[in-house]
Structure 1
């Protein structure tokens, strides 16, 4: 992870439990735990390629973020600096390639110093006492170990300056000096030298220094390697290999991999901001931050969330189905035989929490069903996956944190999905599913603390699961299961319409005592978005009520003048009812009545499902950070990246429209699916492609390019009548087809698809 000023941190395997260098989310101080310094050996002037940690007052600093790399540029005293940072495709190290160009018209004597503070754990304050450093005699790289971090005790962190290091220290106190800081390290002041300290009991860091001479008009290159290997020999092998490899080649390999992943589907629409997100940034955010890093500026999480990454990998089912498949099996392995699951867990140990949260387990069958639809990979259902063993959550407790054992009992992936469903069939007094310790909104963790509270939203979500899995069970000869599940569907539908409907919209939940939540009778949280959107997305609500519920959502929760789509309104503040920790957020912040982008995207998808392309496209436009930051005023208001989705946007003065919790949010994956599937109507179904757009009526059309195996499909969608939905013509390579789907061929070649929208007849 890297910030715009050059700060950031590095980790290996687990971004929380095994930080190599410090993580911070202090936007004011933005402390630097890693840095590269350049010193003019004649004048003593100190400068660097990034604004941090030296201050950045002497000129312009330019930063470019791309997929898989960041590049910083700066010039000082006639020396142009270009720093490119990236992680190779398959190896656990970070490469920082610094190119120095002499524009001064005379020969220059410089030194380059690389600095990294070791953490080797969760926090430096705890782990520094246990970190031991040494200069490896074979490579002259600095090695560091923390044998008191049990899961990573044998691993060896390393820092190397391409073998060019001539001076070094592993003592931060020596480098910074008394009262010093990375902005003015004592060891880089005139006349100072590095003393080569290492061992135990120090303030651990890695400082490596190399001399660089550049003739007038010439350039030099210094490469800093920072990483961690399974042991000393593996560290030496990595260092030796990357000393002999050109960094540019490694970066090209990274970029080719990202191009292959992100270029699977490319779109060109009348909304340029939507194109920017769909073509590169949304999948990049999903894969890099959510699936691989599990980290961002607002949280160094490290853990897998059961519901979280299952939702993320659904967006990867077209471009990287192997990653989706791998994670489905990983998630199934975090299930107990009873059908419930860990809410989150830390790799590699699997330590995590078992909870009473009611929706987690259902994301396994939901995500699995999506994967099966997209890929047709029915064989995955037969994969054998073990269960976990561990104690149940004690009575009177909301959760239990422990490291479970792997059970000797296992089952097929289908069985894991079936047990998740069967674990979710318990009903409350109104015939609706029990909310337990919270459903998708964890902040409602005390609505059903007594075991009788119910969730309307969960009823829709369970319905969406049972509908498809009843058919799958029947096809597998599991007739009794299919019968039970279908009977449960009928009961849910009856309860939803009898008890869930509030008159103009659907309620959200019922407290233990039967008091409704999300009702017109409530002073706070009168209406909640996801109870309305999932009435549509589940396909279970009657058409008239579904349309009325979404009309109410737009009336009460969409603030177009402020660019907001709220989760609920009014926010919780003074209600005597205790819904849970959601009330701990200030009104209008995060789940408590702010825009929770994840849910707002579901609202857009629901409008698309109703055939309302104007509203679906309009909401995606409101949610798009490119549009939020299209003016200077918008930038100052939004205060978040224009190329990454933010989890929430504040809805109350004085911070209306301010984005928060960017990068590490599941809204990126859902935004991708809402744009590609919901609006552009792109549905890959095994070896067939179904096209069912729902676009704004003002769009004259759009184009897609889809790479399917060795073939390329160039898809042109035309909208001559200005409609939102309705396919009246489909051609493949000039041949008319019936319906709105076509069979795909993966053989090498290029194909042209023409789709025409209009009013039938």
Structure 2
């Protein structure tokens, strides 16, 4: 219901703004100017905003002449009175974004996908990278600090355009690691303080970020950089990497799985491991994923001893997940402190969670048969017209052995909502499993541009991903919430570029491995990689989902699916012919 004062704002009715201030509630900024135009006349003007010192709480003090803020304001106003100066700065701004966006562009038959991958995904990623979760309308880093998990996920899109900024970010995050490999869960940049919560996944996001950076840049000098530990002493980035993984391997429970701690990626499962015995299946799959990546890294670097160590650890974790956590049709979510499973067919509520299914595939823990079965279970139990839910059925009773998720309203947030971050991982898992048509369906079901068609229901921006969309388990089905406050934009971007269009970085170069809808007969990607501009055209005359028959590089037949490396500043022309092999 629209209140009368909202529908009829006084300033609009009276034609006069009040120069009022607001310190609580929902603010709305408005600017009023009087402009007279003769017939056919044009006038150009500038509207600008900047910060000044806040007036004293005890006096009516305003901006004082001679103060730094006053002088800065006078200087800025003076410059902005020159319209040519404004034009110059605006052109610089446009050039910055043009250069940023041109580092990766796609052309597919899907205009909506093009729009998001080429512009809006990148913009949301840039904002979340620079501002973490502080930029949105909802709670974020200003209140809870900057999250390690967020910092290391918000890098895919930024890495292509600004690898040096990502390098600096990784070194910064290393500084919040303790000597034993544990980490602060969040931190405040100015005070260098933070909170050590004991979330099981937190230490693993550092190696995740390091490995992602190395594959894109091949800047292995990073591993030799020395960074101080949060509790004193220092070690190379390589040492920080190893300590993070070793700490997690030392934190396994009764079933040989990662202990839950105060939560994993899902912060609302905060009572599962409160007594230190609960175990997380998703967290164990994430650990397995990182271990597999460590094996690949140390194989490339020739560190055979470390390779064998982490390969053995991966195989043990994978075996434990498959031995203890397979429920018959899907993987359970975890074991509670009392040893009982949840996210199981034996439970009345919260029988199936999406994350253990998607990451069983992403980590390689599930074999082909189980991957197919558990993803089919996601489709059967979790699918909605607007994407897969985080769990089903939602909790209707508070369960103190699980935590906050059971206190959320059914169908909202972590209690059965269509969680876009979760959906992005299901999308990726389907691509890895080779089901392009199913993945494409998920992509469009969750795309904000599609869901925002009915703006009165959706209620969020149509150009950025929100944290979640209310599921059919609630009467406000289709209503979005917590826009910007999500890593899903980065994950959807990564998954489309690296696994759908199928151009992803490896230590040796760009790997070509598309998985696309059969209706895509021709599509292109231009991508900057290690200083080289790769212009890649895909031809799919037979309408297949997967399979590469031929690759031509600069007019010559290329026998490998990994594209050759060239001198920085080069342009590489690639043609890929898809078809059944």
Cα distance change, pair 611–117 in 1 and its aligned pair in 2 (3 A): closer
| Structure 2 residue 151 is matched with structure 1 residue 327 | no
- Once the two structures are superposed, the pairs formed by residues 81-480 of structure 1 within 5 Å of their partners are 95-96=48-49, 128-129=57-58, 133-137=62-66, 143=67, 157=69, 246-292=85-131, 294-299=134-139, 301-302=141-142, 303-389=145-231, 407=232, 409-425=233-249, 426-473=251-298
Q: Distance in 1 between matches of 2:485 and 2:88?
A: 29
Q: Distance in 2 between matches of 1:722 and 1:586?
A: 44
Which deviates more, 260-269 or 462-471? 462-471
How many aligned positions are there? 557
| Structure 2 residue 55 is matched with structure 1 residue 37 | no
Q: Kindly indicate which of the two structures has a greater share of residues assigned to helix.
A: 2
Q: Is the contact between residue 52 and residue 63 of structure 2 (CA under 8 Å) also seen in structure 1?
A: no
Matching residue of 1:527: 352
Shift of 1:573: 1.9
Shift of 1:314: 2.9
Matching residue of 2:10: none
Q: Distance in 2 between matches of 1:595 and 1:522?
A: 21
Q: Distance in 2 between matches of 1:331 and 1:740?
A: 34
Shift of 1:625: 1.0
Structure 2: gaps (5+ residues): 1-6, 8-20
Q: Is the contact between residue 357 and residue 378 of structure 2 (CA under 8 Å) also seen in structure 1?
A: yes
Among 576, 590, 597, the residue aligned to 2:413: 590
Among 645, 653, 661, the residue aligned to 2:482: 661
Matching residue of 1:510: 335
Matching residue of 2:544: 723
Cα distance change, pair 38–749 in 1 and its aligned pair in 2 (3 A): same
Q: Distance in 2 between matches of 1:474 and 1:703?
A: 32
Aligned with 1:743: secondary structure? coil
Q: Distance in 1 between matches of 2:188 and 2:154?
A: 17
RMSD: 3.0
Q: Is the contact between residue 290 and residue 665 of structure 1 (CA under 8 Å) also seen in structure 2?
A: no
Structure with higher Rg: it is 1
Q: Is the contact between residue 596 and residue 649 of structure 1 (CA under 8 Å) also seen in structure 2?
A: yes
Among 370, 378, 391, the residue aligned to 1:568: 391
Aligned with 2:425: secondary structure? helix
Aligned with 2:164: secondary structure? helix
Shift of 1:621: 1.0
Q: Is the contact between residue 445 and residue 581 of structure 1 (CA under 8 Å) also seen in structure 2?
A: yes
Aligned with 2:424: secondary structure? helix
Deviations 1:292-348 (A, max 9, x none): 363112235333210012101133222221222111111111111121111111221
| Structure 2 residue 316 is matched with structure 1 residue 491 | yes
Shift of 1:132: 5.7
- Once the two structures are superposed, the pairs formed by residues 590-629 of structure 1 within 5 Å of their partners are 590-629=413-452
Matching residue of 1:650: 470
Q: Is the contact between residue 259 and residue 276 of structure 2 (CA under 8 Å) also seen in structure 1?
A: yes
Shift of 1:731: 1.1
Among 456, 464, 481, the residue aligned to 1:636: 456
Aligned with 2:205: secondary structure? helix
Aligned with 2:234: secondary structure? strand
TM-score by length of structure 1 reads 0.68
Q: Distance in 2 between matches of 1:463 and 1:578?
A: 26
Q: Is the contact between residue 119 and residue 128 of structure 1 (CA under 8 Å) also seen in structure 2?
A: no
Shift of 1:545: 0.9
Shift of 1:119: 7.8
Matching residue of 2:499: 678
Structure 1: gaps (5+ residues): 6-20, 42-74, 86-94, 97-115, 138-142, 144-155, 159-231, 390-406
Cα distance change, pair 23–348 in 1 and its aligned pair in 2 (3 A): farther
Q: Distance in 2 between matches of 1:76 and 1:579?
A: 69
Q: Is the contact between residue 153 and residue 490 of structure 2 (CA under 8 Å) also seen in structure 1?
A: yes
Q: Kindly indicate which of the two structures has a greater share of residues assigned to strand.
A: 1
Shift of 1:290: 4.1
Q: Distance in 2 between matches of 1:566 and 1:316?
A: 28
